Amino acid sequence: MKTLLQGNYAVAEAVRLSRVQFVAAYPITPQTPIYERLSDYELEGKLKGVMMRTESEHSAMAACISAALTGVRTFTATASQGIALMHEMLHFASGNRVPVVMCNVNRVVAIPWAFGSDQSDSLSQRDTGWMQFYCEDAQEAVDTVIQAYKIAEQVFFPVMVCIDGFFTSHFLEPIDIPEQEMVDRFLPPPDIPNRFDIKNPAYVGNVVSPEQYMVFRQKSFEDMEKARGVIKRVDDEYREIFGRGYGYLEAVDTEGADVVLATSGAMTSTARVAVQSLKDKGYDVGLLKLRTFRPFPTKEIQEALKGVKKLAVLDRNISIGKEGIWCQELKAALYPLKERPTITNYIAGICGADVSPEMIEEMVINTLKREDAPELPVWVRRDQ
Amino acid sequence: MIETKFIGRGGQGAVIASQILAKVFFYMGKYPQCFSVFGGERRGAPVAGFLRVDDKKILLKCEITHPDEIVYMAPDLVDEKEIEATLKPNGLILINNALTDNEFSSLRKFRLALIDALSVSESLGLGATINTAILGAYARANGNVPLEYLEKAIRDTVPAKVDANVKAAMKAYELTKIVS
C-alpha cells in the first residue's frame, strides 16, 4: 500500500515486516527515527521481538552478534561516529558468519561536526567482510532490507544497507509498503543454527595458527564469491513477487555511449534528471547506477561500460591521499579491459552539499570536452 | 511540478504545515516530496520547510532554489531582495501579516496574498501555532486545494485541539486577502 513516509520510518516498516526478533541499537542522527519507530512498535506489540537499548554502538553490534548466534533474526541501525565506534565488532560479525542486517544512514564523520550525507562512514568499513548495498531512495531501502535477510541467512555474511542521511532518511515521499502476507511468502522464518548455549553462556574465540587463520579467510573469500549468485537469485525472486528489483547495478544506455556518468545513492535520482536533459540536447550519454559495493560487481561493470570512451564518476565521499572511493574501485574493475574509457572523478555533495541537475550536466559536458583525464579528482562546490 | 517554500520561526509550525500540505496532495493522488533544512532547530530561530508536488514520481534530491510559491509565516523574515532573486515569474507569495495591504507594494508584480493568521489562531485558542490557519489561507491563494482534503489532512496529523485547527483553516480561508 502506498504510504506517505520518511525514509527512516520506511526502513522501520521493513524491519517489522521481516519479523525481526531482536533489535539492539543506540540513537544517532540521522538514524534516530528508525530507533524511535522500532521502540514504538515494541511498545505497541507490533515488533514480535525484543528491543535492547544499549549504551553504545559497539555494544549494540556485540549484542546483535550474540543474539544471531542463538539463531534469531537481528537488526541494528547506525551512522557516522556510531559505525566508527562499531568498527571492531563489524569484524567479529563477519568472522562469526552471523547474518546480522544493519541500516547505515550515511553521515559525515567528525571532525568538524556536521550532519549531512557522506558515504565515507560506511565505505571506510570496506574490508570488514560485510556485504554493502547503497540505495537510491527509501523505496529501494525498504526492498533491500527485506532482501538482505534472505541473502544473509543463506550465505552467512552480515549485510549493510546504506541510505543517504536526509535525502533518503528524512525526505517525506509516497512509498509502497509491501503486504505482510507477501513478505512472509518471500521471507520464511529464519533457519539459523543455534551456536550459543544460553544455559551455559560462554564465548570462545580460539587462538589459531597462521595456516588455520588463512583457511578461515580464504573460506570467507570463496563464500563471498559464491554469494554473488544468491544476491541475483533473491533480487529476481523479489522482482517476481513485488514488481521491483535492482540488480548489482543499473546501466541505462551505457553500451558504446560517448560518455557515461557513474554514481550511487540519492544523487543517482538527480543524475537521472541531468542525463535526460543532456539526451534532450542531443548528447550520447549513459548512466551507471552503482548499488552493490561488496561483493563488487567487476564483471557487470566491464559489461556495462564496453566501448565507452569517457566516464565521469561522481563520488559523495573522499579517500584523502587518493580520490573518490567508487572511482578507485571502478578504475580497478576496468583495468583488465584492452580498451578503457578515460575517467574523470568529481567530488561533490560532501556533507549533503547541494548537487543540482545543472551541476551534474556540467560535469558530464566537461568530461566530454577533456582530451585526457585529470590526475586528481575535480572538486565541485556550489560556492565556487 | 510546483515547488513551495515555507519560511517561519521555530515553534510556528512551518515544517508541520509543509507536511500537512504534502498529505493533502498525497490524498489528491499526486506525488509530494517534503523536507526541511536540518541543523540547529530551536524555538524562535528561522526555519524552512520545502515541498515539491508533481503528477509523477519526483527524482530531484536537491534544494529548491527557484520556488513557485513562498509562504512567510513570520512577516519580519520577508526579504524582498531574495524574492526578486529566487521566486519564479508570476509566483505566489503568502504572508502572515497583521498590517494593511499598503505594505509590500513592490511585491505586487507577483501573486500576493495576506492573512492575519495570528489573530485567527488566537481567536480559536491555538495561541501562536498558526500552521493550520496558514494552510487555510494557502488553499485560498493557491486555488487548487480542495478544503475537504485539507480538513482530512489536518484531522490525520494534528495531535490535539483538532476541531479548533480545522476551524482555523476554514476561517483563514475566508479572511485571506488576495492583493494581486
pLDDT in tens, A340-376: 999 999 999 999 999 999 999 999 999 999 989 899 9
Residues A177 and A262 both lie in one domain: no
Predicted local confidence at residue A196, as pLDDT: 86
Give the Cα-Cα-Cα angle B58, B64, B70 (nearest 5 degrees): 110
pLDDT, tens digit, 9 for 90 and up, residues B7-65: 998 888 888 999 999 999 999 999 999 998 755 556 678 889 999 999 999 999 999 99
Predicted local confidence at residue A384, as pLDDT: 74
A202, A221, A242 - which closes a domain: A242
Decide if A372 contacts A343 (C-beta within 8 A): no
Picking from A85, A37, A31, A92, the residue whose alpha carbon sits closest to that of residue A64 is A92
Residues A354 and A263 both lie in one domain: yes
Give the Cα-Cα-Cα angle A343, A347, A352 (nearest 5 degrees): 145
**Parallel/antiparallel/unpaired status of strands B111-115 and B177-178:** antiparallel
- Is residue A41 one of the residues assigned to a domain? yes
**With an 8 Å Cβ cutoff, is A382 touching chain B?**
no
Handedness of CA A90, A105, A293, A313 (dihedral sign): negative
CA dihedral A367, A372, A373, A374 (to 10 degrees): -110
**A193 cis-preceded (ω within 30 degrees of 0):** no
Residues A21 and A164 both lie in one domain: yes
- Is residue A144 one of the residues assigned to a domain? yes
The arithmetic mean of pLDDT across residues A313-335, rounded, is: 98
A205, A225, A242 - which closes a domain: A242
- Sorted by sequence, the CB contacts under 8 Å of residue A278 that are 6+ apart come out as A285, A361, A364, A365
Cα(B101)–Cα(B98) distance, integer angstroms:
9
pLDDT, tens digit, 9 for 90 and up, residues B84-111: 999 999 999 999 987 666 678 889 999 9
Cα(A168)–Cα(A166) distance, integer angstroms:
5
| pLDDT, mean over chain A | 97
CB atoms within 10 A of CB A351: 14
Predicted local confidence at residue A207, as pLDDT: 94
- Does A142 have pLDDT greater than 80? yes
Give the Cα-Cα-Cα angle A18, A24, A27 (nearest 5 degrees): 110
More confident residue, A197 or A167: A167
Q: What part of A 345-364 touches B (C-beta under 8 Å)? A: 354-357
Decide if A63 contacts A52 (C-beta within 8 A): yes
Q: How far is A168 from chain B (nearest CA, A)?
A: 9
**Parallel/antiparallel/unpaired status of strands A259-264 and A50-53:** unpaired
Predicted local confidence at residue B100, as pLDDT: 66
| pLDDT, mean over chain B | 93
Residues A14 and A137 both lie in one domain: yes
Find where cell 493557491 sits.
B142
Decide if B149 contacts B121 (C-beta within 8 A): no
Predicted local confidence at residue B103, as pLDDT: 72
**With an 8 Å Cβ cutoff, is B39 touching chain A?**
yes
Predicted local confidence at residue A197, as pLDDT: 87
Contact residues on chain B for A173, CB-CB shorter than 8 A: 31-34, 58
Residues A230 and A291 both lie in one domain: no
- Is residue A105 one of the residues assigned to a domain? yes
Residues A233 and A87 both lie in one domain: yes
Predicted local confidence at residue B41, as pLDDT: 58
User: In chain B, pLDDT over 70 holds for what percent of residues?
Assistant: 94
Residues A85 and A33 both lie in one domain: yes
Q: How far is B51 from chain A (nearest CA, A)?
A: 9
Q: What are phi and psi of A22, to 5 degrees?
A: -150, 125
Domain residue limits, chain B:
2-178
pLDDT, tens digit, 9 for 90 and up, residues A250-297: 999 999 999 999 999 999 999 999 999 999 999 999 999 999 999 999
Q: How far is B25 from chain A (nearest CA, A)?
A: 10
Cα(B33)–Cα(B22) distance, integer angstroms:
7
DSSP B78: -
Predicted local confidence at residue B20, as pLDDT: 97
CB contact under 8 A, A267 and B61: yes
CB contact under 8 A, A172 and B22: yes
Q: What are phi and psi of A62, to 5 degrees?
A: -60, -40
Cα(A73)–Cα(A92) distance, integer angstroms:
17
The number of distinct structural domains making up chain A is: 2
Residues A229 and A262 both lie in one domain: no
The CATH number assigned to the domain holding A81 equals 3.40.50.970
Based on its alpha-carbon atoms, the radius of gyration of chain A, rounded to whole angstroms, reads: 21
Residue of A134, A163, A173 best to disrupt the B interface, most CBs of B under 10 A: A173
The arithmetic mean of pLDDT across residues B68-81, rounded, is: 94
Predicted local confidence at residue A205, as pLDDT: 83
pLDDT, tens digit, 9 for 90 and up, residues A63-112: 999 999 999 999 999 999 999 999 999 999 999 999 999 999 999 999 99
Which of B26, B39, B60 shows the shortest C-beta gap to A174?
B26
**A112 cis-preceded (ω within 30 degrees of 0):** yes
Residues A308 and A354 both lie in one domain: yes
Give the domain extent around A332.
249-379
- The pLDDT confidence band at residue A201, using thresholds 50, 70 and 90, is confident
- Does A203 have pLDDT greater than 90? no
Contact residues on chain A for B62, CB-CB shorter than 8 A: 270, 354-357
Picking from A327, A362, A316, the residue whose alpha carbon sits closest to that of residue A118 is A316
Residues A63 and A197 both lie in one domain: yes
A242, A273, A290 - which closes a domain: A242
SS3 A146: helix
pLDDT, tens digit, 9 for 90 and up, residues A209-253: 999 999 999 999 999 999 999 999 999 999 999 999 999 999 999
User: In chain A, pLDDT over 70 holds for what percent of residues?
Assistant: 100
Q: What are phi and psi of B51, to 5 degrees?
A: -140, 125
- Is residue A384 one of the residues assigned to a domain? no
CB contact under 8 A, B59 and A4: no
Predicted local confidence at residue B86, as pLDDT: 96
pLDDT, tens digit, 9 for 90 and up, residues A180-198: 999 999 999 999 999 988 8
Find where cell 531582495 sits.
B81
Cα(A262)–Cα(A257) distance, integer angstroms:
13
The arithmetic mean of pLDDT across residues A300-326, rounded, is: 97
Residues A229 and A359 both lie in one domain: no
Contact residues on chain B for A267, CB-CB shorter than 8 A: 61
SS3 B106: helix
The CATH number assigned to the domain holding A258 equals 3.40.50.920
The CATH homologous superfamily for domain B2-178 is Pyruvate-ferredoxin oxidoreductase, PFOR, domain III (3.40.920.10)
